[in-house]
Structure 1
Amino acid sequence: MRILLTGSSGWLGRFLAPRLRAAGHRVTGLDVAPGADTDIVGSVADRATVDRAFADHGIEAVIHGGALHKPDIVLYPAQAFVDVNVTGTLNLLEAAVAAGNDRFVFTSTTSLMISASIRAGKGGGAREAAWLTEEMAPLLPRNIYGVTKLSAEHLCRLHHLEHGLNIVVLRTGRFFPEDDDMAHEIAENGPNTKANEFLNRRLTVEDAADAHVAALDRAPTLGFETFIVAAPTPFLRSDCAALIADAPSVVARYFPEAEALYAARGWTFPAHIDRVYAAEKAERLLGFRCRTDFAAILAALADGAPLPFAHDPAYLSPGANRATPMSRGLL
């Protein structure tokens, strides 16, 4: 199948493109910055670029991973997020419908599920952690990234309803390698933070790529579906009150060895966990389960092996070393 992969020079794209080719697909990469898997340098916000990609490469399906992301909030104005994340998605959906495509995979985010009240956690008076599934409503994203991703999801749903385009929306947890853009607000950072997030909200980029391949394969049988994609949590819904009150005690109950392994590295657990992303629907309907979970992190610590996730505080998204959003080809 001839696949248009947007965001092909980005962190996800560089892992996803080889997997698609290994599955027998012909991949055309589209990104604002050059890369090993990028055939077309341009923005999804430019409809002419999108139309040429379809016409010149005979595109039969789209995996739309290109976007401005949460760490980009400190780099780009709000209008750039609207142009790329909303208008760009609309351009691709309309082109896919016009070309008669039968499947479309959209990379969304669990970030759009977090309101300010959930993020406040215990400090905001919450009595238990939020147990988040795809049925959560209403969705009240707290930043421009979440707002534009939710708008793009609505465009996907609309194109399924009006045109019958089969679409899988993947709300992925965190898998970016750089530090969080709000690192100044958290006590620990780097590998310790990423390891902790495998308890409730993170996955590896390799698992994210594999989820997209699975979504592409299953899309025609699903119609329109939205899935949370994150490492399987060890927690149960009944743990939510204890997670907000004393998260380390809950972790110790499931992983008695964790405290010593963390102490050997000088690591700590979060005092409170304010939300858990439950990914059971993806396992049930998509047939996908992340390979790397928190137990794998502990196994690596115990064996003195490399951590099974990437951490690169110097990582920059494609084009981020250029001076302005305009010069990055986004507007």
Structure 2
Amino acid sequence: MRVLLTGSSGWLGRFLAPLLRSAGHDVVGMDVASGADTRVVGSVADRALVERLFAGDSIDGVIHAGALHKPDIARHPKHAFVAVNVSGTLNLLEAAAAHGVSRFVFTSTTSLMITEAIRAETAATAVWLDETSGPLMPRNIYGVTKRAAEELCRLFHSEHRLPTIVLRTARFFPEEDDTHRALSGENMKANEFLNRRLTVEDCARAHLAALERAPEIGFGLYIVSAPTPFDRGEVASLKTDAPAAIARRFPDAPGLYAARGWSLPAGIGRIYDAAAIERDLGFRCETDFAAVLSALRAGRPLPFAHDPGYVSPAVRLASKAR
């Protein structure tokens, strides 16, 4: 299958493009920045470019992973987010429908599920989040535009029967958190495997699974995150005494963390439930919190990427242009 992959030069794209090729697909990479897997340099907001690409390349499947992201809020005005994340998605959907594309996978984000109240963790218990959670009130332009793009995907499936899967991905970025620095980057990432993180490798695998299963699913929207070790009955204890809840399942976790100079989370305010994608697509992340502890126990490298100096190709390109 010839697959158009937007965002091919980005963090996810550098893992997803080789995975697609290993599965036998011909990858047409598209990105605003050049890269090893980018055949077309340009923006999805360029409608004429998108139309020429579909008309000339016999695209059969689309993975739309390119976007302006939350850290880009500091670098780009709101209308740029609308142009790329909303109009760009519409350009791809219209071209896909017009040219008989057999499947469309859209990379969304769990961020759009987080209201200001959830982010502030004002609830008395941890908030359990799945695909039915709402009402959705995204707290910034990134979330607003991703939410709008999700609804465009739903609309095109309804109107054109375009098989479409939306993946609300949890965190998988390699760099430091751009707002929270209370813990070291590695410590914070390790903790997040309890409730809201996955590896970039697992994220790529989820996209491949969605691409393969989209025609039989029709339309699906799924949270993609490492499976949480907790259940809904623990939301109160997770908020008030997370270390005790963690130690009940992983008795040696406190000692392993102490040996590395790390801290377990005092409380957990929200949890992403990824059960639906496992149920419907048979996909489950390979790396979870148990895998992190296993690496600590054996003295192996951590099973996730951490690169404090990572800068996306698009940001590097923008810096050169200034």
SS in 2 for 1:5: strand
SS in 1 for 2:173: coil
Q: Does 1:95 align with 2:95?
A: yes
The answer on whether the counterparts of 2:60 and 2:101 sit within 8 Å (CA) in structure 1 is yes
The answer on whether the counterparts of 2:108 and 2:150 sit within 8 Å (CA) in structure 1 is yes
- Structure 2 runs not aligned, ≥5 long: none
The CA distance in 1 between the partners of 2:18 and 2:311, in whole Å, is 21
Q: Does 1:309 align with 2:278?
A: no
Q: Does 1:161 align with 2:158?
A: yes
SS in 1 for 2:287: coil
Alignment of 1:1-331 (within 5 A): 1-121=1-121, 124=122, 126-183=123-180, 186-323=181-318, 327=321
SS in 2 for 1:62: strand
How far 1:294 moved relative to its partner?
Answer: 0.2
How far 1:85 moved relative to its partner?
Answer: 0.6
Tell me which amino acid in the other structure corresponds to 1:41. Answer: V
SS in 2 for 1:300: helix
SS in 2 for 1:319: helix
Tell me which amino acid in the other structure corresponds to 2:15. Answer: F
Q: CA RMSD in A?
A: 1.3
SS in 1 for 2:30: strand
SS in 2 for 1:226: strand
How far 1:324 moved relative to its partner?
Answer: 6.3
Tell me which amino acid in the other structure corresponds to 1:210. Answer: R
The CA distance in 2 between the partners of 1:55 and 1:195, in whole Å, is 45
Tell me which amino acid in the other structure corresponds to 1:298. Answer: L
SS in 1 for 2:314: coil
The CA distance in 2 between the partners of 1:242 and 1:142, in whole Å, is 27
The answer on whether the counterparts of 2:125 and 2:238 sit within 8 Å (CA) in structure 1 is yes
Deviation per CA, 1:91-110: give whole Å up to 9, x if none. Answer: 00000000011210000010
The CA distance in 2 between the partners of 1:316 and 1:80, in whole Å, is 20
The CA distance in 2 between the partners of 1:112 and 1:103, in whole Å, is 24
Q: Residues 323 and 108 of structure 1: is their aligned pair in 2 closer, same or farther, counting only changes over 3 Å? A: closer
The CA distance in 1 between the partners of 2:71 and 2:6, in whole Å, is 18
Deviation per CA, 1:120-151: give whole Å up to 9, x if none. Answer: 11xx2x11101101011211111111111000
The CA distance in 2 between the partners of 1:324 and 1:137, in whole Å, is 38
The CA distance in 1 between the partners of 2:310 and 2:81, in whole Å, is 20
How far 1:51 moved relative to its partner?
Answer: 1.1
Deviation per CA, 1:252-283: give whole Å up to 9, x if none. Answer: 11111000110011100121111000000000
The CA distance in 2 between the partners of 1:32 and 1:322, in whole Å, is 8
The CA distance in 1 between the partners of 2:25 and 2:207, in whole Å, is 13
Q: Residues 160 and 63 of structure 1: is their aligned pair in 2 closer, same or farther, counting only changes over 3 Å? A: same
Deviation per CA, 1:192-219: give whole Å up to 9, x if none. Answer: 0000000000000000000000000000
Tell me which amino acid in the other structure corresponds to 1:163. Answer: H
How far 1:9 moved relative to its partner?
Answer: 0.3
Deviates more, 1:126-135 or 1:46-55: 46-55
Aligned identity (percent) is: 66
The answer on whether the counterparts of 1:171 and 1:228 sit within 8 Å (CA) in structure 2 is yes
The CA distance in 1 between the partners of 2:48 and 2:109, in whole Å, is 27
How far 1:323 moved relative to its partner?
Answer: 4.4
Deviation per CA, 1:261-318: give whole Å up to 9, x if none. Answer: 1001110012111100000000000110000000000010111110000011111112
Relative to the length of structure 1, the TM-score reads 0.95
The CA distance in 1 between the partners of 2:148 and 2:197, in whole Å, is 23
The CA distance in 2 between the partners of 1:70 and 1:309, in whole Å, is 21
How far 1:57 moved relative to its partner?
Answer: 1.2
The answer on whether the counterparts of 2:33 and 2:317 sit within 8 Å (CA) in structure 1 is no
